[in-house]
Each structure stands twice: as structure tokens, then as C-alpha cells.
A and B are shown apart, each in its own frame.
Chain A
Amino acid sequence: MKSKLIVNVSPHLHKDESVSKIMWMVVISLIPAGVAGVLIFGLDALWVILLGIVSALITEWIIQLLTKRRVTILDGSAFLTGLLLAYNLPAKVPFWLPVVGSFFAIAIGKQVFGGLGQNIFNPALVGRVFLVASWPKYMTTFTPPQNFDAITSATPLAIIKEGRILEKISYLNLFFGNRGGCIGEVCIFALVLGALFLFIRGYISWHIPITYTVVVGLFTYIFGQKGLFTPPLRAGAGFGGDWLLHILSGGLILGAFFMATDYVTSPLTRCGQIIFGIGCGLITAIIRLWGGYPEGVSYAILMMNAATPIIDRYTKNRIYGTKI
């Protein structure tokens, strides 16, 4: 008999699951969107992605060394943040932009709060809005798709926002990413593939992303162009908003399925997650239709991140043997 038996508290069985496995699974699910981004925008996109990832890893490493915490850059979490940040950038940006963005995402978005699991806001989005606020020009100059007879480099949503008429862009083009936009957000097809993978493996559930998407669709259908409040208010004006365009463009799918679903910054219970999804959807739609930005996904998610502690407080499960 061994002189020293291992003695620990029950349970003695553990599911084959780990934080890093989850992180790497999400990374894998995002690969198709990255490949599509590079195919659409060219090698520039690849450099942005690599820079984003590497600087996120280095930032995490340095901060953990300085604060004498355990170095955990291999757990996939910083990698994922860098990757998502890069996916939220246009392809032709100065090389220092992803570097600064990732640094900000990791340092301010994550480590200031105490590292993994402690942050209130989605780190990648913190990095992105910092860049949008500081260098709006770079952040809104989009490259046209390289191999297609590019329509325009402006994003469809920006065109609508400016009140111009959107021409020659079919839903199919939107679905496969033949349009201007950020690296990881344009190819809906690739994003859906990745999201399906996460659904099937049980890493995300419908509660946030589907609610989010459906609310944006419904809201823009009701209130969008040709919708209820589009002047002139004619009799019989009805639900005519171009909901499909709103769902397919901008960063909605990337945001709803890969960023709003971030465990750390979204509610714990299913009920809370549905509220979170509805909130994200409403804020996104309102910003897009009446706000100052053509987009709105980043701000919507960040605002709902801030609301998460409150949502958690009011959506506690009913405990067995108690009444609500």
C-alpha cells in the first residue's frame, strides 16, 4: 500500500472539461471567420490578426510577471481576446493599432480587474471602443473586398445611416462577406459555421445570441426604413424595415454569438441571459436607427455587461422547496 494516499474532498469524479479547453474551443470556432476575412481582404488581414494575438499574449505575460501572478498565457483566454479584437478591426490599419488595442484590452479590460473571471466588461470590446474613441478615422476606413468587383468600401450600415441608397448589394453578398467591414465580421457564413460548432458542443446556448438577433430583426422590421416611423407617415405604413440587412451586416452575428456569449461578462441564469439578449438587441437597434453610429453592437454589449450584476441579482433561480 502506498505510504501516502491522496485525500481530498468529494466529489472524486470530474467532468472532462477545463477553462482552457473552453477557450481553445471558442478560438477554433472562430477560425473559419478569420480564414474568410483573409480571403476577402487579403494578407493585410492576417497581419492584423497575428499582431492582435501576439500583443495580447505579451501584454498578459508582462503584467503577470510584474504583478508576480502565475503566468497563464497558454490558457487560451488572452489569445481569444487578441483574436476577437483583431476581428473587430478593418484590414488596412496601421500595424500599431492592433498592438495598442490588444494592450488596452488586456491591461485595462482584464488585468486591472484582477485577471480571468474578474472583469466586468468584455476585454476585446473595451479595446475596440478605446480605439474607436481615439482613432476614429482608422477605425472607420474600410477596405473593399479585394477579389470582388467591389461595390464600395463603406459598410452597408454606414451608407444607410448617411441616408444614401444602398445599391447592388444582395443578401447573398452580405451572407458570404462581399462587402466592406471589419475582418472577422463580414462572412456570416463562416461565423454561422463556428457558432453551430459551439452549439453542438454545448459551449453556447440560444438564450443570448438568438434572442439578441431576433430582437434586432424584429425591431428594425417594425421601426426601420419604410417602417412605422419613417416619414412621411402615410396611412398603411407598416412593418417594412429591412430586418435581414440589419441582421446580416455590421458586427451583429460576430457580437451576438461570440462576444455577448462571453461567460464572464454575461448573466449566470438562463432567464438572466434572455434579458441580456433582449437588452443587447434593443440597444443595438436603437443606436442603428436613431443613434449617432451606424453600428451599435459593441456599445450594446458593453452596456449590458455593466447591467449584468443587477440582472444576476434579480434573476436568481427559485430554490427547490421554496416559492418565488
Chain B
Amino acid sequence: MVRLEEHKTEAENKAIEKMPQPSRVYIPLSQHLGKICSPEVKIGDSVFVGQRIGSVQAHVYAPVHASVSGKVTFVQDWPHPALGRCKAIVIESDGKDNNSRTYEPTNLRTEIGEFTPEKIKKIVLEAGIVGMGGASFPTHIKLNPPKPVDTLIINGAECEPYLTGDYRLMVEKTKEILQGIELVARCLGVKQIYIAIEDNKPEAIKQFGVRSSQFLVKVLKSQYPQGGEKQLIKNILGKEVPSGKLPFDIGIVVHNVATVFAVYEAVYLNKPLYERVVTVTGSCISNPKNLLVRIGTPIKDLIDFCGPLKEEPAKIIIGGPMMGIAQFSDKVPVIKSTTGVLLFNEKEASFNEELPCIRCGACVRECPIFLMPTLISLASQKELWSQAKIYGASDCIECGLCNYVCPANIRLVQNIKRAKLEVIR
């Protein structure tokens, strides 16, 4: 693991700011792992905030909801931050923010106390909650592991440079997150609960340390990729997830703080997942911010809101700089897994030419999974899939660290990802 330059100071002290409603939202029908939703509204239909507008019959899926009230104007293919393109429902906002809530927010602790795990899981499914740290795996499935689990880890590590959204949530919404943790814990029936925070977030550590007694706050060194599930489990519990297995196989479930906050909002406020915190930062942005944004808002609106630009961006990244995805256009909308929007200038965006491997071993030393990235990459380039498999290609978590340290600028992750797909096939 490596300590990266953090670039967090730009936005970390900016309180979460509610961004004004956009005039139009583009809500992709796939914002999760699993089956894509089918639209449940037609062009011309009126929708209210939080109305379910897409769903599907499947095990792995999450419904999508309208994030503004207004009229459906299109259902069409639209740029998507992770998939390239995807069918999206376009809603023209009427600016009224008409709400769908059929009853008042549940504030009474006593009432919540009666919520059975079954009920909570149902609410989470209906609210369309997915893992908000970037993986976007439907949360209701992770609340329903096929085997009993005894340990819950709440991931507040936020190890990607630049991003500060989780940090702001932890500082500003500590109580709510703790309530969310309680709900998740109730679903899972766990005994041990850890909250993992990197040591570069003293304020968050303080908040949680003061407020939570049933939970153990684990302070981790800030280094990348500390927030990876496998790293958290190893560094907190000293256990390793067996190769090819998932954390629940060894009785552990990991949830991100933002996800837990969404669970809180869904259960206590009866609010589906239609907005989230997004960090907008990068050297081109003059006013870096942590914005509470409606899902479906084009990132251009976010950029304008944080403007004016200091310089023309040469690269726009959605997510963090290590695992995020560079975008072809600023038309892509914010989706449930959008943690940040980064604008890099020409210099930061430039990348050097790929050279032959000089076998310096840096990638081998830094790989958090203890793989030999250069050898997998070589096997992949030669299409020797069985060799790539022996080297453990399928265990790669795609953290990008090998690529980061490589002096020869070899596109290791790209090559390893390819091998991974072939090996799985």
C-alpha cells in the first residue's frame, strides 16, 4: 500500500451544499450491478419526486426513482458514466419538487424499534439503494447474506485522493449514520461492529468516538487502497477473504458510510435514493464543493455551479483518480455511485508513453493482493490466459496501484482486467 498525495484540502472543509434543482434530469435505467430496469413511465407522464420510474423482475437489481417532479420528455439512449451509453428517462422539472411521501417521516424511535429485519430489507430494496462507494452492488442483497454473519464493517476510509463526500457526511451526519448502522446491524444480526476511518480524518474520528459506544472506531493509516474490502478486513480483523470467496463467506459484511446514510434516510424519512453527495474538485475548479445533487443531474450543471472554471479541463473523471472513469462528455449524469467529479488540466491529464518493463519490482511490492502484476500483464499481452490464471489474475481488485508506481507507465490494470475477463470466461 502506498501513501498518495491526498488533494483533499481543497474540499474537505466545505460543508455539504444543496445544489439547486436542475431543469432536467437524465436517469439511467441501470445504475447498479445486475439487471437493467424497464421504464414504468411513458413520455408525457407526470412524475413526482421519489416516484419509482423503473424496475424489473430479477434477484440482482435496484429500482430507479424520479429525482425531480415534472414531465417525462424522453426515454432514450444517453451517455452513462460507467457503461458508455444506457437507456435513460429524461424528466423536465416543473421546479415544484412535489413529493411522493405518503406519510410523515418516522421520527419515533419506538416505532423504528418495531421494524423487523424483513421490513427494513423491503424498504431498502424499494428505495433502490446500492453500494455508494463506487461498486453499486444492490444493498438489499448485502443485507441478506446467504450465510449468517457476525461482523459488520462500516467503511469510512475514503482512501481515494480528492474525494471528501464521505468525510463530510461523517462529520455532519454522525447521528444519522449511527442510526443507519443500527438498522443495518439489525438486519444482519451481527455482534461486532467496526467503523473504519483513515487517520487523515481526525474530525470524523472524534465525532464517532464520542458518539458511539456500541461500535468500535478503528483508525487506519491513510494509505491507498485502505478502503478496499479485502484490505479493511485484513487490517481490522487480521483475516483474509479466501481467494474467489466473498466477505460473507467468513462472516463479514462491509457497507460504505454513504450507503448506511441512505438506509437511514429510506427507513426514517421514507426517502428513496434520489440524491447523493458528490465532491466536485480538481485543479480546473475554482470553488471545489461537496454537493448534495439529484441523481440524473448532468455533470455540466455541477461544474457550472462550482464555476467559473480556472482553466479548460483536459480530462473529466467520475469517481476518484485511482479507479474513476474518464469521460467523453460533460453530458453524463450523476448516478447512484458517483462519488466525485474531477477536472484535470492538460498537465495532470497527460500520460507518458508506455515503455518495456524494466522489472523494477515496484508493482510486485505494492500490490495489496500480493500479485505479480508485471507477469500477469505480460501473460495477458501474449494471450496466455492459463498462465494469467496461475498468477492469480482473477484476484486483482483493480485498485490501480501497480499502474501508479510503474516507472515504465505500463497499462498494467488494463492488461490485467482483460486477463481477468478471459480467466473468468
Q: Say whether A14 faces chain B, with CB atoms less than 8 Å apart.
A: yes
Given A12-B315, A14-B352, check contact A117 B329 (CB 8 Å): no
Number of A-B contacts (CB under 8 A): 153
Contacts of A317 in B (CB 8 A): 364, 367, 370-372
Q: Say whether B33 faces chain A, with CB atoms less than 8 Å apart.
A: no
Q: Say whether B326 faces chain A, with CB atoms less than 8 Å apart.
A: yes
- Asked if residues B356 and A10 are in contact (CB atoms below 8 Å), the reply is no
- Asked if residues B359 and A320 are in contact (CB atoms below 8 Å), the reply is no
A198 to B355 CA separation, bound complex (whole angstroms): 22
Bitwise interface map of A from 50 to 62 toward B, beta carbon under 8 Å scored 1, else 0: 0000000000000
Residue from the list A5, A11, A116 in contact with B314, Cβ < 8 A: A5
Q: Say whether B236 faces chain A, with CB atoms less than 8 Å apart.
A: no
Bitwise interface map of A from 260 to 279 toward B, beta carbon under 8 Å scored 1, else 0: 00011110111000000000
| Number of residues of chain A lying within 8 A (CB) of chain B | 37
Contacts of A6 in B (CB 8 A): 314-315, 326, 349-350
Q: Say whether B43 faces chain A, with CB atoms less than 8 Å apart.
A: no
Residue from the list B329, B359, B367, B411 in contact with A263, Cβ < 8 A: B359
* Interface residue stretch chosen among B55-63, B117-125, B399-407: B399-407
Q: In chain A between 306 and 324, which residues have their CB closer than 8 angstroms to a CB of chain B?
A: 312, 316-322
Q: Say whether A17 faces chain B, with CB atoms less than 8 Å apart.
A: yes
Contact-residue size bin, chain B (C-beta under 8 Å from the other chain): 35 or more
A265 to B407 CA separation, bound complex (whole angstroms): 17
Closest to B395 in A: A319
- Asked if residues B361 and A320 are in contact (CB atoms below 8 Å), the reply is no
User: Distance in Å from the Cβ of A206 to the closest Cβ of chain B?
Assistant: 14
- Asked if residues A14 and B395 are in contact (CB atoms below 8 Å), the reply is no
A32 to B152 CA separation, bound complex (whole angstroms): 57
- Asked if residues A320 and B323 are in contact (CB atoms below 8 Å), the reply is no
Q: Say whether B360 faces chain A, with CB atoms less than 8 Å apart.
A: yes
- Asked if residues A318 and B370 are in contact (CB atoms below 8 Å), the reply is yes
A17 to B351 CA separation, bound complex (whole angstroms): 12
User: Distance in Å from the Cβ of A7 to the closest Cβ of chain B?
Assistant: 4
User: Distance in Å from the Cβ of B402 to the closest Cβ of chain A?
Assistant: 9
Residue from the list B234, B243, B324 in contact with A10, Cβ < 8 A: B324
Given A2-B313, A5-B328, check contact A268 B323 (CB 8 Å): no
Q: In chain B between 294 and 319, which residues have their CB closer than 8 angstroms to a CB of chain A?
A: 300, 312-317
User: Distance in Å from the Cβ of A264 to the closest Cβ of chain B?
Assistant: 5
- Asked if residues A10 and B322 are in contact (CB atoms below 8 Å), the reply is yes
A positions within 8 Å CB-CB of B:
1-2, 5-15, 17-19, 21-22, 115-118, 263-266, 268-270, 312, 316-322
Closest 4 CB pairs of A and B: A11-B400, A117-B356, A321-B243, A317-B370
B positions within 8 Å CB-CB of A:
4-5, 161, 230, 234, 240-245, 300, 312-317, 321-330, 342, 344, 348-352, 355-362, 364-365, 367-372, 374-375, 391-392, 395, 400-401, 403-405, 407-409, 411, 413-414
